Chain A
Amino acid sequence: MTALETIRERRRQRSPDARPRAGRKRPPTPPTARQPGLLRRLARDRLLLVLGLPGALVLVAFHYLPMLGSVIAFQDYQPFLGIGDSEWVGLENFSFLTEGDPEFVNALVNTLQLTVIQTVLVFPVPLALALLLNSLAGERLKRLLQSVLYLPHFLSWVIVVAIFQQMLGNAGTLNTFLVRNDLPTVEIIGTPELFMTLITAQSIWKDAGWGTIIFLAALSRIDEEQYEAAAIDGANGWHRLVHITLPSLRGLFVLLLILRLGNSLSVGFEQIVLQQGPVGLEASEVLDTWLYNYGILGGGWGVSAAAGLVKGLVGVLLVIGANKLAHAFGERGVYQK
């Protein structure tokens, strides 16, 4: 094969219609340029396969094999019997849905409450912060502020929870300060009524700064001439914000909202499981921690696998539904129709 032919063959392989479709008559081609057979292609790509297969195998083993493991949702799973020998019980494990196990219902209610609070409160903070940063004139100051505000995102939840305890706990910085100044102390950590507020505050502290990245990128894409034209027509800063900036961000906002909705049944497992001790389960149990406490610690394998399955399906349905809704309102959403 000459070099020229090699180039031609490569080009042909790269072009989208390189692979002949079944049923379509292929134009006569010189034999060297024919799509090689599977064995030939395997031999040709053997290095790529050797490099890529370990990753692909790990992906299948820990992302797709567990999906098969979900069959225990239909079993009375006993760890010592394994999946093969455990008894099949049909839909019995799903009875928590119809009968309303009080602990499950409590976890579900808490999860939905937290999702609503977090969507309403956590969502606008990065936007406000981004608008504020964007309105600063000095690039250097802006960058310095960004460095500081992004940092908490990279700390683990264990560290964030520990920091909050040390700041707001009974012997924390805040209370030490209050005692020194003869003021009454506040008990924030360990008060069930304040649990959701605390969780929300932690989420804001950790990720509000990080959340500005996407908004800042979107803000930088807005055409400055629009502002100029509006200003010449007499629009003041507030008008420009309401009529130019916010409408330009609408698509992004819808997109983020849809993604958030898809995750609405999972609210911070690590964050919450770390703080359940002092406040008790009634105030703090959410679906993910219920799965863990009931399934893995309590041995209720089948039921929590069933619950996990339902939760995953509902999440996917929520994304699809929200996307449909977005399309209905003329937005682009996450994916196209």
Chain B
Amino acid sequence: MTTLEQATIGDDTVRRPRREHKRPIWMEKPNPVVQALKFVVLLVAVALVVVPFWSIVVTSLADQEAINDAGGGMLMWPDGVSLDAYQAVLSGGVVTRALLISIGVTVIGTLLSLAASAGLAYWLARPGVVGGRPVLMLLLGAVLFSPGIIPTYLVVREFGLLDSYASLVLPVMINAFNVIVMRAFFQELPQELFESAHIDGATPFTVLTRIVLPLSKAVLAVVGLFYAVGYWNAFFNALLYIQTTDKWPMALVLRTFVVNQSAIGGDQVGGSEALPPQLPMQMAILVIAIVPILLVYPFLQRHFAKGVLIGAVKG
């Protein structure tokens, strides 16, 4: 048992029963100065996270006049609401295509990753199965040692995957850590269920679809969300393997137009009329890249502490 395990078993921070007295009897009365200081520090920490988002959203909704008033820079307070920037970047062109590509890669990649990881984990979770030991060793080795950038690039090249969407999925399809989390979960399921189903004449496939998967919804959700966030955020593989502009996912669009500030021209976005100013369009791209994360965040949050900690517990 490692220290990490001990530290993380029974993570009851979230669901500790509500105490009648908030402060234990033996604890001295909090010093108001200290309390105020704590409050200020936490407030600053929260502001550091929230204010940038606010400023970005407000700027993405600004029109030319508001940008000019702000001296060409970012806005802190809304000054009229205009959706022109969103309309421009979403009506065809490189940003729209990148958005669709990112959605496609994320959805297909997550499904493939989930299926492959669950299959692998189910295999390794059964005791005494053919090849279980060596493959488990391979999995643990992959957690400890990751191959370098160059050799991985060469493998992708040798497979002829350069500049293909598959290069965004296959190299990251199996995350060894996620498989270990799933395996741990499958092992926790009561084995008697499998035995009784077997005696009742269920084939292993029926056991999988009727017993294992329905009982594993939670872990499938957690691991699936982790994979999905990974695919959505992936930048490294796109940078290495994708060469054609037409195949850019959102990460490369963000780098080119927002980080490197390349000008967004009329042929890069849809709509033939006058373009909205650059800054709101850049911020609109940024918002579009952030929103999907915000949408899944509540689900992620409900599960992630558990997911992170299971892996630590049962490694």
Contact = CB atoms under 8 A, between A and B. Distances in A.
Contacts of B41: 132
Interface string B245-259: 000000100110011
A217 B148 CA distance: 33
A166 B55 contact: yes
B199 interface: yes
A158 B289 CA distance: 10
Contacts of B251: 156, 158
Contacts of A6: 198-199
A46 to B, nearest CB: 9
Interface stretch (B71-79, B82-90, B216-224, B268-276): B71-79
Given A6-B199, A56-B120, A175-B73, A62 B52 contact: no
B10 interface: yes
Given A51-B208, A179-B71, A220 B13 contact: yes
Given A52-B123, A163-B286, A72 B27 contact: no
Interface stretch (A22-30, A105-113, A291-299): A291-299
Interface string A216-255: 1111110010011001100011000000000000011011
Contacts of B153: 296
B22 A277 contact: no
A151 B297 contact: yes
Given A135-B38, A154-B293, A296 B148 contact: no
Given A214-B7, A217-B13, A54 B116 contact: yes
B240 interface: yes
Interface stretch (A116-124, A192-200, A302-310): A302-310
Interface secondary structure of B, over-half rule: helix
A304 B195 CA distance: 53
A55 B117 contact: yes
A18 B293 CA distance: 48
Contacts of A62: 152, 155, 170-174
A308 B76 contact: no
A137 B27 CA distance: 12
A136 interface: yes
B56 interface: yes
Nearest to A315: B145
Interface residues of A, number: 121
A212 to B, nearest CB: 10
A255 B5 CA distance: 11
A65 interface: yes
Contacts of A149: 45-46, 49
Contacts of A61: 155, 159, 170
Interface string B128-158: 1111000100110110111111111111011
B259 A274 contact: yes
Nearest to A133: B42
Nearest to B205: A47
A156 B123 contact: no
Contact of A255 (B2, B46, B119): B2
A305 B138 contact: no
B128 A19 contact: yes
A208 B182 CA distance: 27
A314 B129 CA distance: 35
Contacts of B22: 137-138
Contacts of B297: 151, 154
A14 B38 CA distance: 54
A161 B259 CA distance: 7
Ordered nearest first, which 6 A-B pairs have the shortest CB separation?
A52-B123, A308-B148, A156-B233, A55-B120, A176-B73, A51-B119
12 contacts: A55-B117, A70-B151, A72-B150, A148-B50, A157-B233, A158-B289, A162-B254, A166-B74, A171-B74, A214-B7, A251-B6, A312-B147
